[in-house]
Chain A
Amino acid sequence: MAIDANGSPVTVDAATWLVCFVPGLHRQWWHPFADSRHKHVFALRPLDDGTWLLMEPWWTRMMVTVLTLDQAIKFLRWGGMGDVLKVRERIPGRGSQMRGWANCSVLVSYMLGRSYWTWTPNGLYRRLLDEPDVEPVIVSQFVRRHVQAESQRHSRNALASLPKRRDATLRDTLLELGTGVVATMTSRSGIGLHRTVVSEVVRDQNLADAYRSGTADQAIEKIRKVLVAAKWRGEIGIDDCALAARRFVGMLKGHLHLEVALGLREPPSHGEIRDHVACAVDVFLRGVQASTPSPAHATRRQAAEAVDLPAQGLIREIGESMREIVRGDDWDAVAGWAQAIWSDYVGCTGLSWEQASGRIRRVWESGDDARATPAGDAREPARFGSCRETRC
């Protein structure tokens, strides 16, 4: 068998652990003799798949187990009652099996490959804190950053399944996206993330924003763009694509997500997800294809319909929507919103930015010509979304 320089069949990179020095959860006879905040020590670290590895020495055994994120957060909150250090383990390390009394601090020190002669959690804490590359961790900030990173990771997984084919139908696109979203949100790590946010948001309201900025918001935004493109192709008749995208993502959850979140069943199989999503897509599409404008949008729609020139119509529509979304003096928001509109148009037509720019300019100029054309002069107006080159 081939072995590496440390005598191991595989070479593993040194991992970084969160080492938690904590007060006791139950009163013990020896507590009065220990530091008030550091009566016990354990370590945990995140794994690549969203789960966590816990190493906690008990009186009676060494607990080494894999936790979901919500379970890990409970240990981290316990850590927050004392102190948490971010420590890189050493390989091959300098610990020794000859240390004797194997209490929690000795075992954690040994696991990290340290050779410190200390038998108390507080002693280990002080020795580790003296190391130059060891960092104290503020649990609330760490949890928020971790939730945001996990949410972004889930979002990438969920949205990776967007069909690349230009000729994919709206149904195909929603089916692929929806399957990716449901598979991610009902996965073990997706449910762990969801439970974490639902439980922890009462302590930290920013967690909800960190969570939403990932999977939910990005899925809604992606689906909104798909719907905007379909609307421009004349396939659906909805006014507010952002709201419709939000409703669609809600429909995707069904009772599957609820049952998994309550721990009543295992995550669904791919076939089960596909079947559920296909049904949700069909209901959604039949609804939005047959829909008439909502009363709340009727007034705006009437105003838009009075305009027969496409460029004017688009600009009016953009202008009216913009007034609802951003303040006129908030230029960052205006710029961001304009970029989103531009991006939608490029995404819809498949044109390069330069081609899209030229096309918008031509339509704008044809709008000027049309304004100069006498009334009654029959002319097919150029329409955004009916590009002959792209059939979009």
Chain B
Amino acid sequence: MSAVATPTPGQSRELCRGELIRKVADVLHSRHADTLDAIVRIAAIPRHDLEAMFEHDGALFVAVVEVIADRMLAPLAERPTGASFQPQLVAFARQATDGFSGLQLRNLYRIAVGNEFGGHATRAEFYRRGPARVRDELARFMSFAQSQGFGPGMDCRRASVHFLSLLRTYWELADVSAAGDHAHIHDDLDWMVAVFLSGIETRGHDAYFERQPR
């Protein structure tokens, strides 16, 4: 019989923080989650819990964007091979543009741009741990592929910025409707990734396509 480990105060705090982050990330998917106050209210998070776990509301949302970034980056966790490079990029693109992520990111962006986070430092932290981190991890993924002879034929950071910009066109920021026609988006994504890989002059890309059934 195994003994159940009692969490230490530090672990317990981390668990509580994780629970609040998860609740907010879930609520962000809602179409009505358009302000900080609305999200905290829909998630039924008591104000004193929030204040006990985070310095301010903005800090909670910085933690949330980090969790969303982790989820988006999951398909890039494995180092790419010549055969897996493009499928991993397609999987990443799907993860970043599915309805769930689309609504989460759209609502988070609206809150961040609407200055609800407060100070410059919080917005900078939000950017650093969200969009900038995704860009840098994607660039690192491409850079590894490049070092193996099948990556982009251009600066990987720039290629990563262009790819993320392309993906952002799949969720219109100035729109409050639900994310678009996802069957159509997924049909289009494979092709869009292929066009993008041609655009960044991916070495080995042509050979990959010659192996694929059309």
Contact = CB atoms under 8 A, between A and B. Distances in A.
Interface of A: 194-195, 197-199, 201-202, 205, 207-208, 211-212, 243, 246-247, 249-255, 258-259, 261-264, 279-280, 282-292, 294-296
Contact of B176 (A202, A211, A246, A255): A202
Contact of B114 (A198, A207, A250, A294): A198
Contacts, number: 120
Nearest to B124: A264
A251 B165 contact: yes
A290 B194 CA distance: 10
Contacts of A290: 195, 198-199
Contact of B112 (A247, A255, A262, A282): A262
Interface stretch (B49-57, B72-80, B185-193): B185-193
Contacts of B166: 247, 250-251
B47 interface: no
Contacts of B192: 247
Contacts of B195: 287-288, 290-291
Nearest to A197: B174
Contacts of B154: 279, 283
Chain A interface main SS type: helix
Interface stretch (B5-13, B21-29, B155-163): B155-163
Nearest to B175: A208
29 contacts: A194-B174, A198-B113, A208-B174, A243-B188, A249-B169, A251-B169, A252-B165, A254-B162, A254-B165, A255-B165, A258-B131, A259-B127, A262-B123, A262-B126, A262-B127, A263-B115, A279-B162, A283-B196, A283-B199, A285-B199, A287-B195, A287-B196, A287-B200, A288-B195, A290-B198, A290-B199, A291-B194, A294-B188, A295-B191
A98 to B, nearest CB: 42
B131 A295 contact: no
B108 to A, nearest CB: 11
B201 interface: yes
Given A199-B114, A258-B131, A287-B199, A205 B176 contact: yes
Contacts of A251: 162, 165-166, 169
A291 B198 contact: yes
Contacts of B214: 292
B169 A250 contact: yes
A258 B196 contact: no
A263 B165 contact: no
A279 B201 CA distance: 12
A258 B127 contact: yes
